[in-house]
Amino acid sequence: MNDSDQALIYDLDLEALEKILIDWGEPRYRASQIWTGLYQQLWNSPQEFTSLPHALRTRLAETFSFSHLTAGAVKKSSDGETTKTLFTLPDEKAIEAVMMLYDQRRTLCISSQAGCLMGCIFCATGAMGFQRHLSSGEIVEQVLYYARQLRAVGEAVTNIVVMGMGEPFHNYEAVMAAIDRLNHPQGMNLGARRFTVSTVGLVPGIRRFAAEGRQVNLAISLHAANNELRSSLLPINKKYPLSELMTACREYIQATNRRITFEWALIQGVNDTPRHAEELASLLEGMLCHVNVIPLNPTDGYSGQATTRERALAFQQTLQAHEVPCTIRLRRGIDMQAGCGQLATQARKK
């Protein structure tokens, strides 16, 4: 049996692992030992679990795969603060994950799907089309990969954003199961508020997320404040236009009392003028929210250009004049193609 035929151990929650161990005639505490090894010790091979009997280690090796991700191309930014890794899955699909180093934070941007169905025109992943959902364990494994690298230099993951390849709310169950596993107090124990899930605006997903009352942060990829422009950039807007999206966002805030982050990629001459900022301020009036604007990350398949620093500042100032909080985010990894899907798209062309 090869690894691709075996169940991925990271797809199991603790209760499922306990059930398997009990069915094998093992004491329940063995599951906790394995769980701690996986998520606290960051072991990725049955041989490392030296506290387990040899026979149990052998059975684990025969039953489970401890990796579905094969690391391939690695790109580092010239400043050394951004690292992107291309992973190949057992079915030869490609995904990416990115690690970004800030002053005190070690933030991972992870993928939830191979490819994406949403078709946003400035996104390299959207140009790939949808290939498949990732399992919860494949999402988790991206985090563990970088967690091991950070552990080796005495550091740890501080924040996780599900903003890589794919639309998280299109793969809702697997994404939330992965977050639950990483949040588990006996596992990595990353606080819920250290996670951010970003959606292009799948209204049913936003409503479900609100109903579950999670403490995980919600971000909305907005990029336009009128339907005509937004539909031209994000086709999903034709299904869930701004009126529906904003209603769901306001319902989310009312239900959770949590702030929403709206993301806005500033594209020169497309959505970066004072008029666009005025439209956005009007759309968000009175909402508990924050706007992150970031000059567009260029991709091969889209001719749009990033806005200038001066235009970004003017956009920010217009929003702030209307009491809409706004941060200009630093573009990371431009020199090593950190935009979602760029490495995976190249890998498919080879």
Please give the Cα distance from 49 to 40 (Å, whole number): 12
109 an active-site residue? no
Give yes or no: 96 in active site. Answer: yes
The strand pairing partners of 294, in sequence order, are 265
Residue 139 near residue 175 (C-beta atoms within 8 A):
yes
From the CB of residue 201, how many other CB atoms can be counted at a distance below 10 Å? 26
Read off φ and ψ for residue 240, nearest 5 degrees: -125, 80
- For 110-169, the DSSP string reads --SEEE-SS--TT-HHHHH-EEEEPPHHHHHHHHHHHHHHHHHTT----EEEE-SSS-GG
Distance CA 298, CA 296 (A): 6
Question: At 220, which amino acid appears?
Answer: I
Question: Collapsing DSSP states into helix, strand and coil, what is residue 126?
Answer: helix
Residue corresponding to tokens 């701004």: 242
> Position 61: which residue type?
A
- Structure-block tokens of residue 23: 């069915």
Query: Other C-beta atoms within 10 Å of 170: how many?
Result: 19
Between CA 167 and CA 130 the distance in angstroms is 10
CA dihedral 45, 47, 53, 56 (to 10 degrees): 50
Report which residue type is found at 253.
I
> Which of these, 82, 92, 13, lies nearest to 334 by C-alpha position?
82
* CA dihedral angle for residue 164, residue 166, residue 167, residue 168, rounded to 10 degrees: -70
Which is catalytic among the residues 18, 26, 96, 167? 96
Q: Which two tokens stand for residue 254?
A: 């009312």
Q: Catalytic residue positions?
A: 96, 340
